[in-house]
Amino acid sequence: MFGEIKIEEQTFRQSGNGIDIRPFSVSAGVRCRQYSQFLQRAIVDFGSDVTFKNAPNKLREHYGIDVPETAVRLITERHGEAIYRDAETQRDLPDIPGVSQLITEMDGSKIPVVETAERKEGSAGIDLRKTRKVSWKEARLCLAHELGSVTPVFGATTGSADEAGDQLLQCAIRTGGGTETRFHCVGDGAIWIADQCDRVFGSQANYLVDFYHLCEYLAGAADKIAGKDKEAWMEQQKDRLKENAYNEVLKALKPFVEGENIPDEDAPVRVCHRYISNRTHQLDYKGAIAAGLPIGSGEIESAHNYVIQARLKVAGAWWKIKNAGKMLALRVLRANGDWDKYWNNIRQEAA
């Protein structure tokens, strides 16, 4: 365990009066050039919240301790790796009835990533910085909580859609999901989100397209169809959707659908008509409203800001994929309220 630090011998100093024990290294639990668990905790606290460049300034301001930026990065990433590596993964819901209803949401957002060539034998003289390639990678975030709860459990990954689905399952298990739980899944129209809800929850789940995301498509169509009467037209279509009268919405769109020879970016009515037509089985807003269930996925969209983007999407920061995963593990640990538990476990294992 990275946090385990043991003292094998005391430090002595020869003086004119004999041998004096230096007590600080013993009481603090450190050896020369090592970091106590308490200091590691402070380092990771700042390293997971602000840039590695700014973290040493925070440590100096609050604790009066000078720690190099490289040490902040190394210690923070090692703890992130430990959290990521030791995360529990169950493949199925537990064989218990579970809570009656869970709300689940998933969404993806882009984070900046960088790749460089691997150092190979005989490439010692090559400047790997010249092989640097930057791009954007989707970080997938999910949550689950009981109906009425304001304390969701989060999961996140930079991996595949299936890995995101596995994270969603862990969130559901942790919030009490079982073989008789009903899962109300909300998300935008991304096919991978609906597919993962179906894969991990099967017939226990119903999927609802985020109402406000759908309304963005309607707004684009309204500009072309209704002109100055756009607001009244939009309200009429919203009311129809909330009554599950999506066929009436499709009828209102149909006469204005652009020809197939027009590109999508210039055909907002056709795009909206197609979007609704392909998702009629995911538009039960009337049923959700009657059951007191959310019809929007604003909760997960907001969580992207404070769980992922506040640290991984700061100006000038580009992440290696493996390090982004470590930081995500740290951010999720904090968001789930597991911070104290993690450090208490380290202290107990080192005792």
Domains, in order of start, for the chain: 12-86+341-350 (no CATH), 101-116+131-209+297-319 (3.30.420), 212-282 (no CATH)
Of 177, 136, 181, 138, nearest to 156 (Cα)? Answer: 138
Confidence of residue 17 (pLDDT cuts 50, 70, 90): very low
Q: Residue 136 belongs to what H/E stretch?
A: strand 133-146
Angle subtended by helix axes 321-335 and 339-350, to nearest 10: 100
- Across all residues in the chain, what is the average pLDDT? 89
- Quick check: 227 and 256 in contact, CB under 8 A? no
Residues in the chain: 351
Please state the φ and ψ torsions of residue 177, each to the nearest 5 degrees.
-65, 145
Q: Both tokens of residue 209?
A: 């397209």
What pLDDT was estimated at residue 3? 44
- Quick check: 155 and 312 in contact, CB under 8 A? no
pLDDT tens column, 37-76: 999 999 999 999 999 999 999 999 999 999 999 999 999 9
Average pLDDT over residues 290-316: 95
* Identity at 80, one-letter amino acid code: G
Of 216, 219, 202, 210, nearest to 186 (Cα)? Answer: 210
Higher per-residue pLDDT: 258 or 90: 258
- Show the CA angle centred on residue 319, arms to residues 157 and 140, nearest 5°: 20
- The DSSP-derived string for 187-214 is E-S-HHHHHHHHHHHGGGEEEEE-HHHH
Cα separation of 111 and 316, whole Å? 12
Output the pTM of the full model: 0.85
**Beta-carbon contacts of residue 93 (< 8 Å; ≥ 6 apart):** 169, 172, 173, 177, 178, 179, 181, 201
- Quick check: 200 and 177 in contact, CB under 8 A? no
pLDDT(19) > 60: no
Confidence of residue 129 (pLDDT cuts 50, 70, 90): low
User: 271 vs 106, 178, 180, 228, 283, CA distance in Å?
Assistant: 23, 39, 38, 21, 17
Work out whether the CA dihedral 299, 179, 193, 171 comes out positive or negative.
positive
Average pLDDT over residues 90-115: 95
Confidence of residue 5 (pLDDT cuts 50, 70, 90): very low
